A and B are shown apart, each in its own frame.
Chain A
Amino acid sequence: MRLKKKLQIWQENKLITAKDVEKILAFEEKNSLESHWLAILFCFAAFLMGLGVVSLVAANWQEIPDFVKLCGALILLLLNAFIITELYSRNYKTAYTACLCLFCFLIMATIGLIGQVYHLRSDFDRAMLFWSFLAFPLLFVQPVLIWGWLPIFYFSATQKIIDVSSLPSSFIHTMAVLAVVTVYETLVNIPKYAEGTVARATKFFSGALLLFLMMSYDNNWEMMRASLMNFNTYAALMGSVIVVIVYSYLLSLKNKRKTFMPLFLFGITIFSSIKIALLPTWWYCGVLALYAYHYRKPRLFNGAVLLAVLTVITYYFDSDDLISAGLKLIGSGIIMAGTLWGLKKYGQQLWDKTA
C-alpha cells in the first residue's frame, strides 16, 4: 500500500507517531472503500438511466422532427458535460463518476439516434466500435470507466476486425491458454494488483473476456445476441460473475476489511438467473435488513435494501414496449440513485441513533 509505506517512512523519521499512523489508516480505509463502492453503485444507477434513454431512442418517435431530435441529443450531451465539469470543480467525486457513466450512454444513444434518423445500415459492432473511439478520451478523465469500456471495445473489435468464426481452431486454443494464464496470474497476484484499479481491471477483464470468447466459440454470434439464454453463453456469463464475486471476496479478505460488494454481486447473479416473486423477495430482504439492524451490521443492511431495489428493476426488463421500458428504466435508475443517496446521507445517523 503506497500510503502505508509513506506513513512508515514518516514514522521512522519521527514526523508522526504510531498512533497517528493507526488513525490515518483507519480513516483512509473507511472513506476510500465506501466511496469507491458507492461510486460503482451510483454508476449502476446511471447505467439503468442510460439504458432507458437508449430504449426511448429505439422507440422511434416519428412525430418529432429529425432536426429537433438531433439537436436535443447534442443539447443533452452538452448539458451533461457542463454538469460533469461543475461536479468535478466542486469535488463531488461519486456524482461526477456517475454522470460520466451516463455521458457514455448518451454518446451511445446519440449514435443510435443518428443511425435511425439517416436510416444507416444496422451494424451493431461498427456502432460499438465508433462508441469505443468516442469514449476513449474519457478513460483519461476517469480510469474506472475502463471496466465498462474494455469489454465493449473488445467485443466490437473482435467482431469487426477479426472474424472469429473463420479463424483456425489452433488460434482459439492459444487464446484459451492465454485466458487461463491471465486469469490465474491475476488471481495469484491479488496483493500486487490490489493497488492499481486500472492495471487490475485491464488484466482481469482481458482474461475473463478471452475465457468468455473461448467458451462461446462454438456458438453462432448472431443467435447469441438475439437470445442470451443460450446455455454456453449463459454459463460463461454466470461463470465470469462468480469469478468476480470470489475475486472481490478474496480482495476484501486480503485487505482485512469487510465489504458488501460480494453480497451485492451475488444478489445480481441470483436475480438475473431466476425470477423470484416480488413480495416474497421483499419479505426476505426485509427480514435480512431487520436482522442486520438488530445485530448492528450496517453493510448487510445496505445490501438488503439494495437487493430490494434490484428486485423491482428486474421486473422492468420484462416490458416489451420500448417507450414504457425506457421510462421504467430511467425511473428505476432514479430510485436506485435515490436509495443510495438516502443510505449515504441518513445511514450513519440511523446507526448513531441506535448506538
Chain B
Amino acid sequence: MTALTNVVSSVLMLVGALFCLLAGVGVLRFPDAICRLHAAAKAQTLGVVLILLGTELQVSVKFAWALLLVAVFQLITVPVTGQVVGRTAYRTGEIYRPGLVMDELADRLAADARRESGEPAEPREDAQERGNG
C-alpha cells in the first residue's frame, strides 16, 4: 500500500463524508418531503459512492469487487426510491407550493381531466406548443 494510494483514498473518504454531512443538513433543514428527497437522493448517493471508492483502495482485490457491487447497487436503487417517494408525495399533496418553480404534471392532469369530460380540442394545442418549444 503506497503513500499515493493512501492520499487518494483519504481525499475520497473526506469529500464523501462531507457530502454525507451536507445530506444530513439538507434532510433536517429543507421545507418539505420533496426538497428533503433532493438532499437524500443526490448528496447522500455521491457521499456513499465516494466513501466506497476510498475503501476500495484500502482492501484486497477479492473484497473490492463486492464493494463495487454495493456502489453500483446504490446508483441503481436510489433513483427508484426517489421516484416512488416523490410520486407519493405529489399524489398525497404534501408539497410546499410556494417552493415550486413549475408544475408540468398539473397541466397534464388538467388536460386529461378535460379530455375525459368530453372536450378533445384542448390537448391537441397543448401537444403542438410543446413540439415547437
The judgment on whether A and B are partners is: no
- Residues of A whose CB lies within 8 Å of any CB of B are none
- Residues of B whose CB lies within 8 Å of any CB of A are none
